Amino acid sequence: MRLKIVQAGEPVLRQAARRLTREEILGDEVQRLIRDMKETMYDAPGVGLAAPQIGLSLQLAVIEDREDLLKDLPPQELVEKDRRPAPFHAIINPQITFMEDSNVVFYEGCLSVTGFSAVVPRARLIRVDYWDDKGEQRSVEASGWYARILQHEIDHLRGTLYIDRMLTRTFTSIDNWNRFWRGLPIGEASTSTG
């Protein structure tokens, strides 16, 4: 079932979400929610969706960077972003560890801030400890675009939006991004506006 994605201004997007118990994770309600969130993310289309984005203050997000979303991107963009497919998975009660001090900057958007984008600095390399949809503890080291997706979704679970982290002078409508900044090296786009 496709769920409604709430937009910036909804109080749930600014609250720290509550942790789920293993019993809740294995229950029918959360299992159905994960399936519905997956369908909603595909339909949007997006690469991640957190429970607060559908109005539920729960530490749950779904992620998948599908091959079909990458096929039309220029090869140099995939290399620059260190972007490759990431299989579908749910992250529940995640804890993030930053593996190094260096940040990388790229334009980022959000299904809850529809129609806009901005350059956002994010850690290049992270580790995330989480529970999966089977209630099992997992750990993943992530780099590049996948690390960016994880950080973006975990921010949602903490009541943070990308607009809190963005380089403010790069904030743009998607139409203007397509008109002026699409295809430019990120260094040029982020310094031309700020």
User: What pLDDT, in 10s, does the model give residues 22-64?
Assistant: 999 999 999 999 999 999 999 999 999 999 999 999 999 999 9
DSSP state of 148: H
- Is residue 70 helix, strand or coil? helix
Which of 10, 108, 153, 188 is catalytic? The answer is 153
Is the pLDDT score of 184 beyond 60? yes
Q: For the sheet containing 172-173, what is the strand order?
A: 103-108, 116-123, 172-173
Q: How open is the CA angle 84-87-90, to the nearest 5 degrees?
A: 130
- Is residue 147 helix, strand or coil? helix
Nearest residue to 120 (alpha-carbon basis) of 135, 130, 110, 111: 110
Mean pLDDT of 135-159: 97
- Is residue 13 within 8 Å of residue 6, measured between CB atoms? yes
Active site residue 153: yes
User: What pLDDT, in 10s, does the model give residues 59-99?
Assistant: 999 999 999 888 988 888 888 889 999 999 999 999 999 99
User: Tokens 């997006």 identify what position?
Assistant: 46
- The two tokens of residue 119 are 């350059």
Torsion over CA of 109, 31, 90 and 164, rounded to 10 degrees? 40
- Is residue 47 within 8 Å of residue 83, measured between CB atoms? no
pLDDT higher for 100 or 35? 35
Q: Would you state the pLDDT for residue 189? A: 59
Is the pLDDT score of 194 beyond 50? no
Residue positions counted in the chain: 194
Whole-angstrom Cα distance, residue 83 to residue 180?
Answer: 23
Domain ranges of the chain: 11-192
The CATH number that domain 11-192 falls under is: 3.90.45.10
